[in-house]
Amino acid sequence: MKKVRVSHILQKKRDQEKLLVLTAYDYYFGRLLDEAGVDMILVGDSLGNVFSGHETTLPVTVDQIIYHCQAVCRGAKRSLVVADMPFMSYQVNVDDAKRNAGRLVKEGGAAAVKIEAVSMDVSVFESVVQMGVPVMGHIGFTPQGVHQLGGYRVQGRSEEQVDQLCRLAESLAKAGCFSLVLEMVPSAVAQRISSLVDIPTIGIGAGQYCDGQILVTQDVLGMSFGDAPSFVRPYDQLTDRIRTALSGFQSDVKSLVFPSIDQQFS
Ligand code: KIV
């Protein structure tokens, strides 16, 4: 079992080997994803939606990411664990960003952090990298900017936006980011960015030309309520299966089928 390092992630782009990235918020999925061979596990602030039931990722705190990251790290011995920097943990000033990134590594056990890029100012990214913490950038649709972006929308539709995304991607690579999440951008734009930078691009709703793909694990497994986003392909429908299992338990208890002789002490 060889631990995945940032150098391996960079090498995979050079080798044109697709990177596999999924989210986890607990020990169980940390361990399952690790055993399944994913390269990186993101303790995403999507836990605000998926785990806590919030409408957006905005209420998530650094302490919550640390708590979930610790649990994931107990299960993930091989995959590289990336902790998301939640809203207000890096936006106010660079000192905050450094302190919070440091906490995610020191207390959470993460090997890297992910930061959403909200403007062309990449000084936060540069400073966190310089203090020795690997940074994954996140551009395109950035969920922490949901109110400013006017909802969950594809980014990079106009020439001006595409130009801006390309320049931002180049600046983040120059600032020292080791990878770049591209969320909800047209596949041609993702292709252009992927060939522009020598760090791997990890797409979510960004098409087939990215160097890797990331999805929320619960979406991949069909473990959510209602329809998953259109860019997701669910590989199972676990919500339905869990409901069936729960109703089996309920009817067995009511009809005295459970516990049977095998599930009781004599
Ligand atoms: O928070 C998250 O899970 C994410 C990914 C889905 C990219 O940011």
Question: Which residue's C-alpha comes closest to atom 5 of ligand 1?
Answer: 44
> 263 and 144 in one domain?
no
Q: Which domain holds residue 245?
A: 238-266
Q: Is residue 1 part of a domain?
A: no
Shared domain for 194 and 261, answered yes or no, is no
Mean of pLDDT values over 238-260: 98
Confidence check: pLDDT of 143 > 90: yes
And the tokens for 263? 């599930």
The reported pLDDT for the residue numbered 78 is 98
Degrees (nearest 5) of the Cα angle 170, 182, 202?
95
In this structure, are 217 and 252 located in the same domain?
Answer: no
Asked whether residue 160 falls in the same domain as residue 250, the answer is no
Q: What's the CA-to-centroid distance between 95 and ligand 1, angstroms?
A: 24
81 and 140 share one domain: yes
Q: What is the CATH number of the domain that holds 134?
A: 3.20.20.60
Q: Tokens representing 114?
A: 């992910």
Tell me: do 147 and 266 sit in the same domain: no
Under 8 Å between Cβ of 8 and 27: no
Q: Which pLDDT band holds residue 144 (cuts at 50, 70, 90)?
A: very high
pLDDT of residue 263: 97
Residues 128 and 200 in one domain: yes
CA of 113 to the centre of ligand 1 (A): 12
Q: What is the set of active-site residues?
A: 183
Separation between Cα atoms, residue 21 and residue 214, nearest integer Å:
5
Pair (201, 265) in one structural domain: no
Residues 258 and 187 in one domain: no
- Answer yes or no: is the C-beta of 113 below 6 A from any ligand 1 atom: no
CA distance 83 to 138: 13
The domain total for the chain is 2
Domain shared by 110 and 205, yes or no: yes
Among candidates 205, 200, 230, 225, which has minimal Cα distance to 215? 205
Q: What is the mean pLDDT of residues 140-155?
A: 95
| Ligand 1 atom closest to the CA of 84, numbered from 1 | 1
The CA-based dihedral angle spanning residues 117, 118, 119, 120, taken in that order and rounded to the nearest 10 degrees: 10
Is 56 in contact with 146 (CB distance < 8 Å)? Answer: yes
**Ligand 1 touching residue 46 (CB < 6 A):** yes
Does one domain contain both 142 and 262? no
pLDDT score of 226 = 87
Q: For residues 129 and 254, state if they share a domain.
A: no
Residue 1 has pLDDT above 80, yes or no: no
